[in-house]
Amino acid sequence: MILFDLDGTLIDSTDAIVSTFRFAFKEQGFDFRGSDKNIKDLIGYPLDIMFERLGVSKQKVWDYVDSYKNRYRVISVEQTTLLENAFEAVQFASKIARVSVVTTKTRMYTIPILDNFNITQYFEVITGRENVENPKPHPEPILKTLAQMNYDKNKDEVYMIGDTKLDLICANEAKVNAIGVLCGYSDEEELLKYTNIVKKDALEAIKYISTL
């Protein structure tokens, strides 16, 4: 079984995310003095946590999340690209294993994005933010996905492929194999703190799995 993260692993929605954060700050009248990098460094966390860490008070954070969602819903598909080799990675993975997505993005955005790239049909389960109580790095997203796939721990080998520590900690906590990829938001030094397997991108990760 192979589980893919989405942002930074299969897709690049950086521009859409950053511009929508700035839109939400402006709409809510918040004087954000940070940089685009400050926003990018938090990609992978749930929106409410991202806004809080960027300075928004806990009491007002859901107003910002609403502003974000209203705009992101409109622009997400056209401003998201498939990462190089991602389509090939998913196709190859589907030939050697059962494949699913585990993301902190909600399914409301995830499905249209995947549909746009004609890639949805390869995934058995797509677990989004609204499907779990506890998002990554908690193990629940992986464990819930595996339950839906009728995972048998005595028979099934599981690999989680992701580009941030959230993905890898989630995998470690769920007691499945963690593979880091360098096509997203983290460097090799960061990823090696949580796994000893780091590859250039999702396709290289799948090639590695295919040799085991």
Q: Which of the residues in the chain have pLDDT under 50?
A: none
Which helix (H) or strand (E) segment is 70 a member of?
Answer: helix 61-75
The predicted pLDDT at position 1 comes to 98
The predicted pLDDT at position 52 comes to 98
What is the pTM (predicted TM-score) of this model?
A: 0.94
> Strand, coil or helix: what is 118?
coil
Angle formed at CA 119 by CA 200 and CA 23, multiple of 5 degrees:
80
Q: Which CATH class is domain 2-12+80-210?
A: alpha beta
The predicted pLDDT at position 150 comes to 95
The predicted pLDDT at position 156 comes to 87
DSSP string, 140-208: HHHHHHHHHTT--TTT---EEEESSHHHHHHHHHTTSEEEEESSSS--HHHHTTT-S-EESSHHHHHHH
Domain 14-75 architecture: Orthogonal Bundle (1.10)
Token pair in block for residue 31 = 């004087």
- Using CA atoms, how far apart are residues 150 and 197, in angstroms rounded to an integer? 26
| Amino acid making up residue 130 | E
Listed in order, the ranges of the chain carrying CATH 3.40.50.1000 are 2-12+80-210
The predicted pLDDT at position 146 comes to 97
The predicted pLDDT at position 124 comes to 98
- Using CA atoms, how far apart are residues 179 and 127, in angstroms rounded to an integer? 19
Listed in order, the ranges of the chain carrying CATH 1.10.150.240 are 14-75
Ramachandran area for residue 154 (φ above 0: left; ψ -120 to 50: alpha; else beta): alpha
DSSP string, 1-42: -EEE--BTTTEE-HHHHHHHHHHHHHHTT------HHHHHTT
Whole-angstrom distance between the N-terminal and C-terminal Cα of the chain? 13
Cis omega (within 30 of 0) on the bond before 141? no
- Using CA atoms, how far apart are residues 5 and 43, in angstroms rounded to an integer? 12
The predicted pLDDT at position 154 comes to 82
> Strand, coil or helix: what is 210?
helix
